[in-house]
Structure 1
Amino acid sequence: MKTRILAAALLASPVAFAHPAFAADKGFGDPVPVGDTLTFDPIIDARLRYEGVDQPTVDADAVTARLRAGFEIRHAPSHLSFLAEAEGTLGIVNQYNAFPFDVPGSSQRRPGFAVVADGESIDLNRLQVQYKTKTFALTVGRQRINLDDQRFVGSVAWRQNEQTFDAVRAEATLGAVSLDGTYAIQQDSIFGSESGPRRAMDGDFVFLQAGTKLGAVSVKAFSYLIDYDDPFAFANSSQTYGARVSGSFPLSKAVKLNVLASYARQKNMGQNPVRYEADFVLAEVGLGYNGFTLSGGYEKLGTDSKVGKGFQTPLATLHKFNGWADLFLTTPGNGLEDYYVTLAKAIPKVKAVQGLTANVIYHEFRSDVGNVKFGTEWDASLAFKTKKVSWLVKYANYDANRFGVDRQILWLQTEVSF
């Protein structure tokens, strides 16, 4: 009980951190020299968020506070560092269901409310040792892993509890070639310390990437092998092989063309009870002009129609893709096609705030097979900073078009980090 009271008091601190007087403390959080060769770098990341979900069946109102705190010690001559970081989340307004699955005896499983996957928890978020030079890095321990745009592997930083991995990761640059390899034995999930067996999933996870740059074009090949030990996760055991190409081309002094394409093939692995093969396809084109970016794309998470099993990405930062309303965190059995258009505007020259950005996104969802219309979605966000404090207003509006139920979500968020 005393531990929980202490944690609650500590986790209430994001409100204090967001105060302008605190943010104006110049130099706070900067590395502190300890002798001639050591530095001590404190880590503080505090976030306060309101998330409101409106559905015809169940609603939710959640106010949560999250604090990450720790430190990193670096020894320059040896290129070694040690990092330790704890993470805690407190539910201030608990009118939400923290878990989309059953957790016997948990007071956070509230089926009468919509899901907001920010359970109250106290966790060891990261604990790692790293050796790093200009051309090589080796990281051992519990760590954050974000690969490319996080479509296949990411830290899910959007949720209050971060996803990390107990892993060994090596990164190297050999001339024009970059190599990245990871072997992990545990996925520490976003659901936190109170989520029962889904707090962390054991297994063998291998992430391999090799890339190079050809002029303005970056080319990368990848493979992701996911083999779970836990029976409830067997259905997500898979092996994925693919490639990714991206590039940015100036069309004039003011106009830039951005292109992105990716293809991958996935099949079952380990003790997955379903034998299947499915494709992933991504194509995106964008134009940038005077702070505006207009882009359009197509993404397909295919399916094996013989067994009704779709292409899955269980280690991804899923909230970034297929709409912020989070309707398609698991690919439907008949697959998913997402046609989307994004308009973004960066407004740097505003005196009162810094980094002002606005985004509007439209999605149209269909099945890969069967020609099922899964509905449409509008997403919008406005973000800016005042000194060291970040602010965010974000909205998602999913229209089911008779496929299921409509969903609207509003987020109000403030965050400070050092």
Structure 2
Amino acid sequence: MWRTFPLIGLVVAMPATAQTLTPMIDARLRTERVEQDGLPLDGEAVTLRLRAGVQASEGPLTALVEAQGNLSLAGRYEDGLSGSAARPLIADPENIAIHRAQLALKLPGVTLTAGRQRITLDDERFVGAVGFRQNGQSFDAVRAEVTPVKGVKADLSYVWSVRTIWGVDGTGARQRAVGGDTVFANLSWASPIGTLTGFGYWADQDEAAVQGFRLSSRTFGVRLAGARTLGKAKLAWQLSHARQSEFGRNPNDYAAHYWLADLSVDLDGPRLGAGYEVLGADDGRPFTSFQTPLATGFKFQGWADKYLATPPDGLRDLYLSAGWSWKAVGPAKAVALQAAWHRYESDRLTRHYGDELNLLASAKLGRTTASVRFADYRADGFATDTRKYWLQLDWTL
């Protein structure tokens, strides 16, 4: 079986004869502040994340190694591993680790990748890199991407370890890595009305400390995502359905369903969107609702992070969004404003959980992207009122 660290030697040795050598550097400076009802103190973190690495290519072979470090510069917060329980969670613990170390072989119609790598599938609803958090998520895996004919793609991964956002000091329910025998399988076809994808995910969480194996599941589903240009307007749509049940050593016996309908329109500046997402419930026992532990959760159901684990009675999310973007405003490029509103309800017994407002402003100046975010969660039947503020600078070589 492949393991990651022997690959680092290949990555380091390869540049001596490589035809192409590409450095990779990106840095992120962020201030995050959280005010949460029910806790006596607020949380505030100023963190600096740096990733640096090198990619070497020789013919069809590419080797890559990338390290990452996250440093707390100021503030007082609960980072998930240390800090005061009187403060809200800001899940960015200090960390120094190998984020990626992979070897890839690219041939006509086939790409094979082995080692520690980022894997993002479709919209990252089920498998993602958790890019918003400073440490991110990567996978020790082998992956095959095959395009047998134009418009058809098969994507198959075997994962033996998930490297979590908790970093090298992760412990208990927040392990630095979760082992298991996990398989991701996607088969997609570029149809005339959008990309149609069938998928099967067998997620094996082989750590008793992580919810007693109750996040192990098998998920089968189908997704359609497409877009069409109508004059100056661009219309985009997503439809998805999946069914999930227990897998491996999961002691629960359950079945839960997932539904998504999403529609957006870009009017060459103004943007409008609406959607409805359902993570269904079985009978109300903990972890018998539809779970997505390997997803990029920040992208879905609001930025306040109240629903990273689906409640026992499931979740229905009705959301509306509006925004405006400009290619340039003076020296700033890709200027954008965005607002989104969410209404959350349970799937089982249909109770109102709460509402959330999300606001974002971003712009790019040279290699630096600046963004300001705000999330305001107003609780009704689930969790507590929470407000989050972010100021972030991203720089990429």
Would you say same fold, with TM above 0.5?
yes
Residue 134 of structure 1 and its aligned partner are, at CA, apart by 4.9
User: Match for residue 137 of structure 1?
Assistant: 111
Number of residue pairs matched?
Answer: 375
User: Match for residue 77 of structure 2?
Assistant: 96
User: Match for residue 367 of structure 1?
Assistant: 346
1:123-272 aligned at under 5 Å gives the runs 123-175=97-149, 176-197=151-172, 198-233=175-210, 234-250=213-229, 252-272=230-250
Q: 1:111 pairs with 56, 62, 85, which one?
A: 85
2:374 counterpart of 1:399: no
DSSP 3-state at the match of 2:311: coil
In structure 2, the CA distance between the partners of 1:184 and 1:402, relative to structure 1 (3 Å rule), is closer
Residues in 2 aligned to 1:204 and 1:36: alpha-carbon distance in whole angstroms? 36
CA contact (8 A) 1:142 1:165 kept: yes
CA contact (8 A) 2:306 2:383 kept: no
Deviations 1:24-56 (A, max 9, x none): xxxxxxxxxx89961111111111100000122
Residues in 2 aligned to 1:183 and 1:67: alpha-carbon distance in whole angstroms? 28
Residues in 1 aligned to 2:295 and 2:169: alpha-carbon distance in whole angstroms? 22
User: Match for residue 257 of structure 2?
Assistant: 279
Residues in 1 aligned to 2:388 and 2:248: alpha-carbon distance in whole angstroms? 37
Residues in 1 aligned to 2:268 and 2:75: alpha-carbon distance in whole angstroms? 43
DSSP 3-state at the match of 1:218: strand
User: Match for residue 84 of structure 1?
Assistant: 65
Deviations 1:84-135 (A, max 9, x none): 1111111111411011xxx5xxxx2421211000000111110000112452
In structure 2, the CA distance between the partners of 1:342 and 1:306, relative to structure 1 (3 Å rule), is closer
* Structure 1 stretches of at least 4 aligned residues deviating more than 4 Å after TM superposition: 34-37
CA contact (8 A) 2:284 2:313 kept: no
Residue 327 of structure 1 and its aligned partner are, at CA, apart by 0.3
Unpaired runs of at least 5, structure 1 = 1-33
Taking structure 1 as the reference length, the TM-score comes to: 0.87
Residues in 2 aligned to 1:217 and 1:84: alpha-carbon distance in whole angstroms? 35
Residues in 1 aligned to 2:248 and 2:259: alpha-carbon distance in whole angstroms? 24
Taking structure 2 as the reference length, the TM-score comes to: 0.91
User: Match for residue 300 of structure 1?
Assistant: 278
CA contact (8 A) 1:89 1:160 kept: yes
Deviations 1:150-201 (A, max 9, x none): 0000000100001000000010111131110000100000011112250001
Unpaired runs of at least 5, structure 2 = 1-14
1:63-74 aligned at under 5 Å gives the runs 63-74=46-57
Code of the residue aligned with 1:43 in structure 2: it is M
DSSP 3-state at the match of 2:131: coil
DSSP 3-state at the match of 1:118: coil
CA contact (8 A) 1:358 1:382 kept: yes
Residue 305 of structure 1 and its aligned partner are, at CA, apart by 1.6
User: Match for residue 343 of structure 1?
Assistant: 322
CA contact (8 A) 2:137 2:162 kept: yes
Code of the residue aligned with 2:163 in structure 1: it is D
Moved more, 339-348 or 260-269: 339-348
Residues in 2 aligned to 1:366 and 1:216: alpha-carbon distance in whole angstroms? 31
In structure 2, the CA distance between the partners of 1:212 and 1:333, relative to structure 1 (3 Å rule), is same
1:1-80 aligned at under 5 Å gives the runs 38-58=19-39, 59-75=42-58, 77=59, 79-80=60-61
Q: 1:378 pairs with 341, 354, 357, which one?
A: 357
2:368 counterpart of 1:389: yes
The share of aligned pairs that are identical, in percent, is 37
Code of the residue aligned with 2:94 in structure 1: it is E
Residue 293 of structure 1 and its aligned partner are, at CA, apart by 1.8
Residue 248 of structure 1 and its aligned partner are, at CA, apart by 1.5
DSSP 3-state at the match of 1:319: helix
Residues in 1 aligned to 2:63 and 2:110: alpha-carbon distance in whole angstroms? 17
Code of the residue aligned with 1:211 in structure 2: it is S
Residue 402 of structure 1 and its aligned partner are, at CA, apart by 5.6
Residues in 2 aligned to 1:341 and 1:209: alpha-carbon distance in whole angstroms? 29
User: Match for residue 269 of structure 2?
Assistant: 291
Residues in 2 aligned to 1:310 and 1:402: alpha-carbon distance in whole angstroms? 17
Residues in 2 aligned to 1:397 and 1:295: alpha-carbon distance in whole angstroms? 19
Code of the residue aligned with 1:117 in structure 2: it is A
RMSD: 1.5
CA contact (8 A) 2:156 2:184 kept: yes
CA contact (8 A) 1:276 1:307 kept: no
CA contact (8 A) 2:289 2:313 kept: yes
Residue 403 of structure 1 and its aligned partner are, at CA, apart by 3.9
Residues in 2 aligned to 1:92 and 1:319: alpha-carbon distance in whole angstroms? 23
Code of the residue aligned with 2:183 in structure 1: it is V
Residues in 2 aligned to 1:322 and 1:306: alpha-carbon distance in whole angstroms? 20
User: Match for residue 4 of structure 2?
Assistant: none
Code of the residue aligned with 1:84 in structure 2: it is V
CA contact (8 A) 1:182 1:206 kept: yes
Code of the residue aligned with 1:268 in structure 2: it is E
DSSP 3-state at the match of 2:292: coil
CA contact (8 A) 2:284 2:348 kept: no
